[in-house]
Amino acid sequence: MPRDYPTYPVIGVGAVIWRDDRVLLIQRGKPPREREWSLPGGRQELGETVAEAARREAREETGLEITVHDVVAVVDLIDRDAEGRVQFHYTLIDVLAEWQSGEAVAADDAAAVAWVTLDELPRYSLWSETERVIRLAAERRKETHHAD
């Protein structure tokens, strides 16, 4: 099924990856939201759990190995074209994750990577839902003692 003008929603998995007090952002290399900053992630494959998808996408896009903890949020991304037709429709499942090993590099669909603190998030002009999910993940991380 094509990603644009799909016949049903595509399931995407994003990882809110923490290393100490910094979260990993990627600059998207492809639509939707090309050149915008976001979370590493992508389409869930058939037969793959959400956690497996998050680990694979982190490895493919950034070269990192991660530990996946909890689902943080489920977000609808629906973009319409000028005629009002649905051009992109993703159901995004975002998970809380911790860096385990590797150095972040931009690979696969990522054009760039950056480790940023919560205070630095406004500099990256994130989609409001992405920033909301990152802040939710920070709270969840604090509550569940995943923070270092």
What pTM value is reported for the model?
Answer: 0.91
Question: Strand, coil or helix: what is 119?
Answer: helix
> Is the predicted pLDDT of residue 138 greater than 70, yes or no?
yes
Domain assignment present for residue 37? The answer is yes
Percentage of the chain lying above the pLDDT 90 cut: 84
Cβ neighbours, 10 Å, residue 45 = 12
Q: Could you tell me the residue range of the domain that residue 81 belongs to?
A: 10-143
Q: Write out the DSSP string of 59-86.
A: HHHH--EEEEEEEEEEEEEEEE-TTS-E
Number of domains in the chain: 1
> Is the predicted pLDDT of residue 43 greater than 60, yes or no?
yes
> Is the predicted pLDDT of residue 145 greater than 90, yes or no?
no
- Condensed to tens digits (0 to 9), the pLDDT of residues 56-77 reads 999 999 999 999 999 999 999 9
Domain assignment present for residue 3? The answer is no
Domain assignment present for residue 137? The answer is yes
Pair of tokens at residue 52 = 């497996």
Closest CA to 7 of 87, 122, 114: 87
Domain assignment present for residue 65? The answer is yes
Domain assignment present for residue 2? The answer is no
Domain assignment present for residue 148? The answer is no
pLDDT value of residue 147? 61
Do residues 43 and 121 lie in contact, with contact meaning Cβ atoms separated by under 8 Å?
no
Domain assignment present for residue 5? The answer is no
Domain assignment present for residue 133? The answer is yes
Which residues 6+ apart lie within 8 Å of 85 measured at CB?
Answer: 5
Pair of tokens at residue 20 = 């100490």
Tell me: cis bond preceding 32? Omega within 30 of 0 counts: yes
CATH no. for residue 15?
Answer: 3.90.79.10
